[in-house]
């Protein structure tokens, strides 16, 4: 049995209204079209679904059984249509984003705040992790998009470049004698260096830079958050490698200063990462457009 959904739709409205004429009006069809559809359905089952009477039509016992199922399906279809309309209009749904704590706090927060203000019914889910972890989240379907440092080379992913950041070494008052000096990489390595975890994109980039000059960068301390990088440097535990934009307040108030080097540290780009050739939810599309 493989009846067209439209036949069941006609049956539903004829049973609901008890009138072929009213069913035709509800479906914007002619009455003969409604009669023909019902006959097709009855012929396919080999049973009579309606009694015809002077007032219209009424269901047979078999028709009543069929209607009990069709009514439920129509209710579910209507609910599904309402749900999809709400999702499209951003009246419900969720937005799942992956990224590092630092990028959420220092870069994404204003955009998240603005999006939440405009679409308070959209639930926000933030998944924290390093770049490799965020890539895994995306491929596993746990997030809609990721905010990561570039470059990302993966044929399964599409990365849209967003902003440029500049990393630097910073120190606190304990190393004040370095304020007016320009250090070589060799001189810098004489001091305790504090780095982020070895799986971070920033850590990989600075390690590769030192290797390119023939030096091995071995940190005295490793931490798991930018806040600790900043606080350890302020307390004089060493020289931290951080993103300049993330310590603008500390550089301005003088609690930290930037170490000047005789080599140029390359900038890094932040990108918005999505799965290639995969449709985005309305919420994800709207958010990506809002940060361009």
Q: Determine the Cα–Cα distance for residues 145 and 77; give it in Å rounded to an integer.
A: 29
User: Is residue 270 within 8 Å of residue 148, measured between CB atoms?
Assistant: yes
| pTM beyond 0.75 | no
Enclosing H/E stretch for 88: helix 61-88
CA angle 274, 277, 281 (to 5 degrees): 60
- Lookup: tokens for 130: 């390093």
- Measured distance CA(196)–CA(151) in Å, rounded: 18
Q: Is 238 left (phi over 0), alpha (psi -120 to 50) or beta?
A: left
The third-level CATH classification (topology) of the domain covering 94-164+270-290 is D-Maltodextrin-Binding Protein; domain 2 (3.40.190)
**Quick check: do 5-88 and 94-164+270-290 share a fold?**
no
Domain spanning 5-88, CATH architecture: Orthogonal Bundle (1.10)
* Token representation of residue 102: 């630092």
Nearest to 263 by CA among 196, 210, 219: 210
CATH architecture of 167-266: 3-Layer(aba) Sandwich (3.40)
- What's the average pLDDT block by block, 10 residues per block, for the chain (292 residues)? 82 93 92 93 93 90 93 84 74 88 89 92 90 90 90 89 90 95 96 87 89 94 91 97 93 96 91 89 88 75
């Amino acid at each position: 049995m493989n009846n067209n959904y439209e036949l069941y739709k006609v049956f539903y409205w004829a049973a609901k209204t008890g009138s072929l004429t009213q069913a035709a009006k509800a479906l914007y069809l002619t009455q003969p079209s409604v009669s023909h559809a019902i006959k097709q359905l009855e012929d396919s089952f080999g049973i009579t679904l309606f009694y015809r009477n002077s007032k219209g039509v009424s269901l047979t016992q078999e028709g009543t059984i069929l209607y009990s199922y069709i009514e439920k399906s129509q209710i579910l279809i209507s609910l599904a249509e309402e749900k999809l309309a709400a999702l499209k209009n951003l009246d419900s749904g969720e937005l799942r984003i992956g990224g590092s704590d630092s990028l959420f706090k220092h870069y994404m927060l204003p955009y998240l705040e603005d999006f939440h203000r405009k679409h308070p019914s959209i639930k926000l889910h933030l998944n924290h992790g390093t770049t490799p972890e965020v890539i895994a989240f995306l491929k596993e379907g746990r997030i809609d998009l990721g905010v990561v440092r570039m470059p990302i080379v993966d044929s399964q992913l599409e990365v849209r470049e967003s902003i440029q950041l500049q990393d630097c070494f910073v120190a606190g008052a304990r190393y004040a004698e370095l304020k007016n000096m320009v250090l070589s990489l060799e001189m810098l390595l004489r001091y305790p260096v504090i780095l982020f975890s070895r799986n971070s994109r920033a850590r990989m980039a600075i390690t590769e830079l030192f290797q390119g000059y023939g030096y091995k960068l071995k940190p005295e301390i490793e931490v798991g958050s930018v806040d600790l990088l900043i606080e350890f440097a302020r307390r004089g535990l060493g020289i931290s490698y951080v993103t300049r934009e993330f310590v603008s307040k500390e550089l301005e108030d003088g609690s930290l200063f930037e170490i000047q080097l005789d080599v140029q540290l390359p900038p890094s780009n932040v990108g918005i990462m999505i799965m290639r050739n995969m449709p985005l939810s309305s919420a994800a599309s709207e958010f990506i457009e809002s940060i361009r």
